[in-house]
A and B are shown apart, each in its own frame.
Chain A
Amino acid sequence: METTSVKPQFSEAAKAEIERICKQYPTERRKSALLPVLHIAQAEFGGWVSPEVQDLVAEVIGIKPIEVYEVSSFYTMFNLKPVGKHVLEICRTGPCMLRGSDELTAHLERITGAKVNGATSPDGLFTLKEVECLAACGFAPIVQVREKYYEQLDTPAAVDAMLTDLRNQVHRPALPWEETGLPNALANN
């Protein structure tokens, strides 16, 4: 977790990726890179974007800090408070609800000890966040963890498998492109 005294810095790899992204837009439209750069920042700095990290994002893009705050607080993917090692984003929208997302949420609260949209689990591993439709309704109920979709979590065994998978991850991928797990359902549909 960042402290206010030390100014955060992007790694060289992240800086290179940011520059690649900025080139996708007209020179005078660097602000367009804001969302992709925020994704990189969140992956690089512990799964959330502190005010200091957001100021850094403003600096590398060349915009005012308020322009970053306005955007980071609008889009739900950006965590503005510290989170556990893994943020489990549980879809709660209609189609997932029809296939048991409420039960899944309750089950995850019970076995991880975390509270939905609240406290991280006591072991610091899991933060539970309810989100709206993740566009995988046919494989409901689902949980997204960073770039990976865990699907058809309608049995305790499926949930256990997901948690085991997450617990076995030695390190949190520092950069988003280090992790390219494909959802199970894609492999066998």
Chain B
Amino acid sequence: MGRKLLTEHINVEGIDTFEVYRKHGGYRSVEKALKTMTPDEVVEEVKKSGLRGRGGAGFPTGMKWSFLAKPEGVPRYLVCNADESEPGTFKDRQLMSKLPHLLVEGMITSSYALGANTSYIYIRGELLYVLRILEKAIAEAYAAGFLGKNILGSGYDLDLFVHPGGGAYICGEETALLESLEGKRGNPRNKPPFPAVQGLYARPTVVNNVESIAAVPVIVNDGGEEYAKIGVGRSTGTKLFSACGHLNKPGIYEIELGLPVEEFIYSDEYCGGIWKGRDLKAVVAGGSSVPILPKELILKTAAGEPRLMSYESLSDGGFVTGTMLGSGGFIAMDETTCIVRNTWSFSRFYHHESCGQCSPCREGTGWLEKVLHRLEHGHGHMEDIDLLVSVAKQIEGNTICPLGEAAAWPVAAAVRHFRDEFEWHVTHAKEAAKPGAVYQGKSVLV
């Protein structure tokens, strides 16, 4: 089993309290940064670590930090994106509810690096119980002098607050999140200006995922170079994967990037194989918006190399034969899964979650869902399959925010790899519409 940098102590009794967390080495990064490092030195370590944004986009965190505008006398903000809602992803919820102080510590160290004196954690509204866990941890940190005025006598002040959302996937998009934090509808903003220049309250702002922030204490404690030694190539460090779907052992796994996908799925250390002794059919490896891959392509790349759990290996082959690491929401589907039904479900999700602001997404997501619904329920036509691809293409790249792509990619990929199954839904419409009916090559499993 690989090293665990974030979740090493996750099962320690009382680790959600300040006392126990501190005993296990907690808040060392705050002491080290505030007492021995300049803010820029902290940024430098994060850059050296090669840490990439853990929310899904995989943009280098250190580089994002260095883009932050720093005009004199203007406050700037750090906002933590805890609006975890990408289907298949549930790592941040576990991390925050079990290790709240890790996030608080990461927020303090990161805020110091960015020169923010007020920071927010934007948590999805459904996780109000986690908000209370975080607020308790924050209160403990204030009491211990790690938050508030003149932290540890360093002269650095920081206030940290938790803000709940209200039920909207789109608020995971950073500018929609900022709108929501300002008390508005979660409509993503046009960019430019980017948040690094005009973010929260039109001030320079950095928005980072929970897991990215939680990795900062490790990086500051051990040094960026040490962190970068873990993993493979430009996929440095460890990553939390949320494994779900038809697995024997769904759950959260912290892995060193570079673990073979096959080992992750079948090893008893991780997911323990496919449930009920069934065969694997397909995997969505990085949250519902990344392309689905059939068994053969998720276990091995098109070149026949073992597929690894890393940014590069998962995207090997582009969208033709590859996918993306995304948020690490790993959804496994067994041989009884109907791909059309599953794609329809994802499409329904994006249709439901489109903010409705820009026309390709507002109209296109609903269109995709309706056509897929028709196919799944036995009323589809052969042309519908190409129509899906065409509508997906009309959305992709033409919207204000990436929800357009997130809605288009899963549909395009499902047709790309499972076209025969879509066709079967047209040629055998009656059979296909039966509950539980699944296409398996030429045979049908009911």
Contacts and interface: CB of A to CB of B under 8 A. Distances in A.
A6 interface: no
Interface stretch (B44-52, B127-135, B311-319, B390-398): B127-135
A125 interface: no
A140 B185 CA distance: 29
A146 to B, nearest CB: 8
Contact of B342 (A32, A67, A98, A138): A98
Nearest to B90: A135
Interface in A32-82: 32-36, 38-39, 61, 63, 67, 70-72, 74-78
Nearest to A149: B129
A137 B181 contact: no
Contacts of B352: 132
A39 B342 contact: no
A124 B166 CA distance: 25
A47 B110 CA distance: 38
Interface in B105-130: 120, 124-129
Given A38-B166, A39-B128, A97-B345, A137 B87 contact: yes
Contacts of B128: 39, 147, 176
Contacts of B188: none
A122 interface: no
B166 A77 contact: yes
Given A94-B288, A189-B94, A137 B250 contact: yes
Given A35-B125, A133-B85, A135-B84, A75 B167 contact: yes
Contacts of A155: none
Given A74-B186, A189-B94, A138 B250 contact: yes
Interface stretch (A8-16, A160-168, A179-187): A179-187
Interface stretch (B22-30, B55-63, B141-149, B237-245): B237-245
Given A32-B181, A137-B87, A39 B164 contact: yes
Contacts of A183: 129
A74 B342 CA distance: 26
Interface residues of B, number: 60
Given A98-B331, A135-B126, A186 B98 contact: yes
B345 A138 contact: no
A138 to B, nearest CB: 4
Given A135-B84, A137-B244, A138-B243, A78 B346 contact: no
Given A138-B90, A138-B252, A147-B128, A75 B245 contact: no
A136 interface: yes
Contact of A135 (B89, B98, B251, B342): B89
A92 interface: yes
B132 A177 contact: yes
A93 interface: yes
B184 interface: yes
Interface-centre pick from A29, A34, A38, A135 (highest chain B CB count, 10 A): A135
B167 A78 contact: yes
Contacts of B201: 26, 29
Contacts of A177: 132
B337 A24 contact: no
Contacts of B204: none
Contact of A77 (B126, B245, B331): B126
A32 B162 CA distance: 12
Contacts of A186: 94, 97-98
Contacts of A99: 244-246
Nearest to B347: A94
B331 A95 contact: yes
A34 B185 CA distance: 10
Interface of B: 84-90, 92-94, 97-98, 120, 124-129, 132, 159, 161, 163-169, 180-186, 201, 242-246, 250-252, 284, 288, 329, 331, 333, 337, 341-342, 345-346, 348-349, 352-353, 355
26 contacts: A26-B201, A29-B201, A35-B166, A35-B183, A36-B164, A63-B183, A70-B184, A71-B185, A72-B166, A75-B165, A75-B186, A89-B126, A93-B288, A94-B284, A95-B88, A98-B331, A99-B245, A99-B246, A136-B90, A137-B87, A137-B89, A137-B90, A137-B250, A137-B329, A180-B129, A189-B251
Given A99-B244, A147-B128, A180-B129, 15 more contacts: A26-B201, A32-B163, A32-B182, A34-B183, A35-B125, A71-B183, A75-B186, A89-B126, A93-B349, A95-B245, A132-B349, A133-B169, A135-B127, A136-B90, A137-B90
